[in-house]
Chain A
Amino acid sequence: MSFKPGRFDWKRELAASSLAAVWLALLAGPLALFKINTSDYSLGLRWPLLLKMAGGAFVLSAVWRRFLARRASARRAAQRGEADKPQGGRGPARTWVDMVMGARYRLQIIGLFILGLMSIPFWASPYVVHIFITALIYIALGLGLNIVVGVSGLLNLGYVAFYAIGAYTYALLNFHFGLGFWLCLPLGALTATALGLLLGFPVLRLRGDYLAIVTLGFGEIVRLVLVNTELTQGPRGIGNISPPAFFGLDLNSQVKPHLLKVLPLMSPDLDMNKALIFFIILALVILTIVAVFRLENSRLGRAWLALREDEVACQAMGINRTRAKLTAFALGATWAGLAGVVFASQVTFINPTSFGFMQSVMILSIVVLGGMGSIPGVILGALVLILLPEYLRSYDDYRMLLFGALMVLMMVLRPGGLIQSVRQVYIHRPAASTPAAPPRQEPRGT
C-alpha cells in the first residue's frame, strides 16, 4: 500500500501498519515462537516474544510511513515552489563543511581544529584516546580504499589483506629480529604495495563484479594463510609488539611524570606510548588527506575519475588504463600497509581474527556510506561507523543486529552517501549582456 498525499488518513495508516505487523508475525513466527531447547530438542513456545515483535513492527511501520509521507510532501513543496532551481544538494552535513571551506580564514579554522585534536591525549581518558586512534586508523584506511573504490571505481572487497600484511610485517620483523616501528613503517608499506602490484597485474582486466569477488577471495586466502602457516604463528597470533620509539626515551617513566605535574586534566592512567601513537596516526591522517586531495586534482586523479565513469572512453582518450588501475590499486595497498603497522603497534598483539572479511566490509561501508570519492564524506563515515558501535555497546547482544539494520537504513535513506562528492559544473546563463556565471558546485550524480 502506498501512501497518498494529503490529510492524515487514520484508517489507512492503521490498516497498513497492521498489515506490516501481521506480515512480520508470519515471517518471524517459526523462529520467534518456537525455541529449540538445546538439551532435549523439544520446542518451547514464546507467545509474548512474538506479540512484542509484532507490536514493534506495527510501531516502526507507522513511524516509517509518517517519515516517508513527510519527506514526499516536502519534496513536492520544493518542486512546486522552485521548479526552475537546480535540484539536489550535498546533504545536511555539507553546509558546515562547505562553510568552512569557503570561509575566509579557513586555513586558520582548520589549524585550530587540528590543534584541538592534538590536545586530546592531554585531557581525555585512555579509553577515548584508544577510540580516537582506532577511528583515525579507519579514516586512513577509508581514504586509501577511497582511491581504489570511490575515485577509480575498482571494487576491492579484500582490502583488509593489505592491512594485515602491513601489521604482520611489523609484528614478524619485531618478533624475530627486534626491528623497531620507524624502520618497519616503510617496510610494511612496501610489502603491502608489492602485494598490491602482484595482485593487480593479473586481476585488473576483469570486469567490475568479477574483480570484486576475486579481491574478496584474495582477502580470504591471505587470512587463511595467516591462520594456517607456522611462520605467522597461526591462530596464536604474535604478541609483545613494541610501540614506536621516541628518541630512546621511555615515555611512561621518564616523560609522563613531568607532564602530569604541568597538565591538571591529564589522566594518570594514560599509556604515553598510546599518546605517541595517537600523534603519529594523526600526522599520518593529515598527510593522507593532503596527499589524496592533491592526487584527486592531478592528472592521475582525473584519469582515475575517468576510469570510474567510462573505461572505453578512457582508452579512446589515450589514458593508459592499466597504469592508472595499477597505481590506484597499489597506492591503496600502501595506505593500508601503513595503517596496519600503526595498528600493530597500538594493540601490541595481533592474530588473524582481526583481519577477516568483516573488516573489509567495514572499510568499504565507510567509503560508500560516507560518499564515494569525497574526502570529508569518508572522514564522517569512519567516525560514524567506528563511534556508533561504541554507543551501541550498551546493547551488546543486539549490537550487530542494530548495526546491520542501520547499514540498510542509511543506504535506503541516502544512497549517495552522507556527503556526496562535488564536481565543478558550469552553468550558462543565456542572458544577453551578462557574462557566463562563475562555476558552481553541484552534487555529483550517483
Chain B
Amino acid sequence: MELFLDLLISGLTKGSIYALIALGYTMVYGIVGLINFAHGEIYMIGAFIALIASLALSQAGLAGWGLLVSVAAAAVVYSAMYGWTVEKIAYKPLRGSSRLSPLISAIGMSIFLQNYVQLLQSPNFLTFPSLVPELGFLAPVSHIVNSTQLFIWLATALIMTALTVLIKFTRLGLSMRAVSQDPDMARLSGVNIDRVISSTFVIGSALAAVGGLLIGCYMRQIDFYIGFLAGMKAFTAAVLGGIGSIPGAVLGALVLGFAESFAAGFISSDYEDAVAFVLLIVILIARPGGLMGAAQTQKV
C-alpha cells in the first residue's frame, strides 16, 4: 500500500512538471503549427537561472519564501526573454516556409542552447538547493508527502487555473484562440499576429521556467541535458493528450507521469524512459487524435 501511495505521489509530481512544460509545446503548436524543439532548453535554462539566482540572492541575505519567490521571478523573467528571442531569431524568419525548415531550425537552436549552457557553466551535474520551506503541518505525514511535492502540486494547479482564465476570459486569450483558428481572419479583425505569437512563446517559456525551478527543488540536481529528455517526454505528453489542446496537454502529462512512475515501480526502472513512447504508440493507435483530440475528420 505504501509503495502504491509512493508511486502515486511521485507520478503526480512528475506529471505536474511535465504539464508545465507540455503546455508550452501545445500552445506554440496550436498557434504556429511548430514543434518547438528548443522549448526543453528553455526549461533547462530556467533551472539554471534559478540555481544562480538562489546562490546570489541567498548570499545577499534572502531566505525562505522570499527567496523562493524572488528566484521564481528571476527564472520566469529570464526564460521569457530567451523564449521571445528564440522565436524572433529562429522561427519568425521562417514563417510561411515549409513545415520542416522551422523544425530543423528548432533542433539547431536546441543544440546551440544546450552547448551554450554547458560551456558557460559546467558539463557536470550541479546540486540544486531545496528552496521550498518546510511546511509545519505536514510533519506527521512527511514520510509520505513532503513540502516540495505539495508545493509542486499546488503551484501547478494554480498556474493551470490562471492560464485557463487568461485563455477564456481575457482579450489576449481571445486573440490567441482566434489566431490559432484562422490567422488571416484574425489579421482582418485587427489582431497583430506577431505580438500574439510572441506572447504565446513568452507565456509558454514562463511556464517552463517554473517547471525548471520545481524540478531542481525536487530532484536536487540539474545539468545541461535535462531539457532534452524532459522536453521529448513533455512533447510526447502533449501529443498524447491531443496536440494543440490545453486540457489535453495537462491530461497527457498526468497520464504520462503516472505511467512512468508505475512502470518504474512495478516493471523496471531501466525502461522508464521508454514508457512515454510505448504509451504514445498504444494510445495513438486507438485514438489517432490523442486523448482529447478532435475527431479526425478533414473537410474537403
Contacts and interface: CB of A to CB of B under 8 A. Distances in A.
Whether the complex brings A and B within 8 Å at their CB atoms is answered: yes
Give the interface SS of chain B, mostly helix, strand, loop or mixed: helix
A398 to B, nearest CB: 7
Interface stretch (B6-14, B104-112, B132-140, B176-184): B104-112
B288 interface: yes
A368 B107 CA distance: 12
B236 interface: yes
Contacts of B90: 408, 411-412
A401 B81 CA distance: 20
A294 B74 CA distance: 58
A43 B119 contact: no
Contacts of A41: 55, 127
Given A217-B280, A372-B98, A446-B98, A407 B108 contact: yes
Given A36-B121, A38-B126, A401-B119, A209 B35 contact: yes
A205 B288 contact: yes
Contacts of B270: 224, 228
A349 interface: no
Interface residues of B, number: 69
Interface size class of A (residues with CB under 8 A): 35 or more
B185 interface: no
B298 interface: yes
A221 B277 contact: yes
Interface string A207-218: 111101110111
Nearest to A225: B274
B35 A212 contact: yes
A220 B277 contact: yes
Interface string B62-100: 000000000000100010011001000110011001111
Interface string B115-153: 111011110101100000000000000000000000000
A117 B236 CA distance: 44
Interface in B268-288: 270-271, 273-274, 276-278, 280-281, 284-285, 288
A411 B288 contact: no
Contact of B104 (A38, A401, A407): A407
Given A32-B120, A43-B56, 15 more contacts: A26-B81, A27-B81, A35-B121, A36-B126, A213-B35, A213-B280, A217-B276, A217-B280, A228-B270, A368-B104, A401-B116, A404-B114, A405-B108, A407-B108, A411-B108
Interface of A: 23, 26-28, 30-32, 34-36, 38, 41-43, 149, 155, 202-203, 205-210, 212-214, 216-218, 220-221, 224-225, 228, 312, 357, 361, 364-365, 368-369, 372, 397-398, 400-401, 403-408, 411-412, 415-416, 446
Q: Which 10 pairs across A and B sit closest by C-beta, in order of nearness?
A: A407-B108, A217-B277, A404-B112, A404-B111, A415-B97, A415-B101, A411-B105, A401-B115, A408-B108, A400-B115
